[in-house]
Chain A
Amino acid sequence: MLAALASRLAQALLVMLAVTAIAFVMFRYVGDPVAMMSREDASPAEKAELRKTLGLDRPVLVQYGEFVGRVATGDLGVSFRNQRPVADLLGERLPATLELVIVATILSLSIGVPIGVLCALNPEGKAARLVQTVSLIGISMPTFVTGIALILVFAVILRWLPSFGRGDVVLVGGWTTGFLTKSGWASLVLPSITLALYQLTLIMRLVRAEMIDVLSSDYIRFARARGLPARYINFHLALRNALMPVVTVTGLQIGSLIAFAIVTETVFQWPGMGLLFIQAVSFADVPVMAAYLLFVGFLFVVINMAVDLIYTIIDPRLRTRRA
């Protein structure tokens, strides 16, 4: 167990190094930092001076080492566009994105798992077929189209819900939250549904496929032969095992979910990191892009490790192997 954990950590460290290397290359070679930071009429001598202060005249490996060191201490450089430290910008935007992604994940799990189970219990039924058809439409529907459709219906025609921004937010210990106000919750409804729909189809299809697999296995047939109640078999014995891959996929999907949050945030003008990133892309604001990449890479590594740990908790077989 310890050895496995250590090798996971080593792997994670390698991935992070690879991501920082990409970020460093972007940071250092995409666009000329000196040209970006100096005045337009700066003399060559002034530029050389700036180059020296920035440490750009030293060997690449040394520069990379310093870059890693700075990133490790949370110094992500200064945004070309806003002239503010990138770490501050990301920090301001982080709560908005995380709240959106968390609510969307909870939504998609709490709807997707039950529907998937229902479809698996009665795979030939009308409801199951309907769900299959709807889910095919679901995966063919781009996130931004879903978002626009929801805005058109619920914000423009019915005027029930706000269609942009986060509503009123409350500052709780450096974290701006929309969970504490009515308008915050109202603003969250449409974006979180939009983001959840993307994941919902996936979870539903996965749960259904896994449940069908598990239900046809020997131990379930044996449990049926013993005359155990169907409820117990379906939910206690079968669902538990069917949920294993769901945990993995949900975890791994959080990366894609954050990427898709870029789209959702653009549609709903949600002031999160995705919006920050897309603005950085259109303005070629390299430090922000590099920092966002680092952040997503870091998140990905953390989630991967968390998924591994959760695995050992919900799968008793892995626990016995450890002993």
Chain B
Amino acid sequence: MSAPSIEAAPVLAEAPAPAPRKRRRMRIPASVIGGAVVVLVIGLAAALAPWIAPHNPLDVGSFDLLNAEMPPAFMAEGDSRFWLGTDNQGRDLFSAMLYGARVSIAIGGGAVLVAATVGVILGLLAGYLGGWVDALIMRVGDVILSLPTILLALLVSGVARAVFPEAGTAQWAPVILIGAIAIHEWVQYARTVRAATMVESSKDYVRAARVMGLPSIRIMARHILPNVLSPVIVIATINLAAAVLTEATLSFLGVGMPPTYPSLGTLIRIGNEFVFSGIWWIATFPAALLVVLVLGVNIVGDWLRDWFNPKRQAR
């Protein structure tokens, strides 16, 4: 697999020259390591939430209204049982945040996975088959990209609610959210993979495979796919940040995860109602966690993009 792509390099005269090897050994900046560490720590804490969280924020029966709106433990009236205080129902905020980050990351990651899978398949089909398949997929993509992510996601979840009343429940909301986010994001993958597939298709190894009479599906999956995947990884990283933000925004607007099974966005929505009464912690801590998580992913994504594509380094 690797031999043909090296031989084929000269054919790429018009395309930007492949990255010189030495660039690949550039030093990883401290900020990137910091970002990666932050993402890993939050990711791990979220994954292990059921084991490390001091309380169970999903067990409504365990909440005590007497504990409601308790300030964080480091403040004068704080309670040492609730490190970051409690929300309006007496739910431990720290535990709710761990579970919330878990939900946010799972939905963001799920949306990226769905979008990448759909986008790669459609991109391969469009790039390899060309003709009307290509035209259809790309025109649909153009129309979708002309609508802002948030608007499209709101429309999808609004329609889902109208058709299907269960759409707002903890069980179905994640599915709707993943669909609502992925319906916009797949286009980017499809465009990138399509372009890369068109370059690869004209190379000798693909022609050889075609002459041998291999079926198109096999050529696409076994021969072209591995050679067009690296930009997908970069887009996926940057999209993960965007997907987590979109999920948070939808939940904040009240069309995402319900308060009984909150994501970070839902927690911020709950907290937003109390900001005026001076109860600042319910909104502030989840918001800070969200920003730090997204910032970490963005830093790593930015660096990955530069690493894979030295041409854009100047920006």
A residues contacting B by CB (< 8 A) are 15, 18, 26, 30-31, 136-137, 139-145, 148-149, 151-152, 155-156, 163, 205, 209, 212-213, 255-256, 258-260, 262-263, 266-267, 277-278, 280-282, 284, 286, 289, 293, 296, 300
Contacts and interface: CB of A to CB of B under 8 A. Distances in A.
Contact of B252 (A139, A163, A263, A284): A263
A18 B287 CA distance: 38
Contact of B287 (A145, A205, A281, A296): A145
Interface stretch (B41-49, B128-136, B142-150, B207-215): B142-150
A48 B288 CA distance: 56
B162 A142 contact: no
Given A255-B148, A278-B154, A278-B254, A140 B294 contact: yes
Q: What 5 A-B pairs have minimum CB-CB distances, sorted nearest first?
A: A259-B148, A281-B158, A284-B162, A140-B295, A259-B151
Given A136-B299, A277-B154, A278-B253, 13 more contacts: A30-B162, A140-B291, A140-B294, A142-B252, A142-B294, A152-B284, A163-B276, A259-B150, A266-B252, A267-B272, A284-B162, A286-B162, A293-B155
Nearest to A147: B272
Given A280-B158, A296-B147, A136 B302 contact: yes
Nearest to A208: B315
A139 B248 contact: no
B203 interface: no
A15 B149 CA distance: 18
B278 interface: yes
Contact of B255 (A31, A144, A260, A281): A281
B294 A148 contact: no
Contact of B268 (A139, A148, A151, A209): A148
Contacts of A155: 276
A263 B150 contact: yes
A18 B140 CA distance: 10
B60 interface: no
B280 interface: yes
B252 A152 contact: no
Contact of B150 (A31, A262, A286): A262
A284 B254 CA distance: 13
Nearest to A260: B150
A152 B272 CA distance: 10
A217 B85 CA distance: 57
A251 to B, nearest CB: 13
Contacts of A31: 162-163
Contacts of B248: 142, 144
Contacts of A300: 146-147
Contacts of A149: 287
Contacts of A258: 148
A289 B271 CA distance: 27
A148 B272 contact: yes
A202 B159 CA distance: 31
A289 B155 contact: yes
Contacts of B103: none
A255 B245 contact: no
Interface string B149-167: 1110011011101110000
B298 interface: yes
A98 B158 CA distance: 24
A30 B163 contact: yes
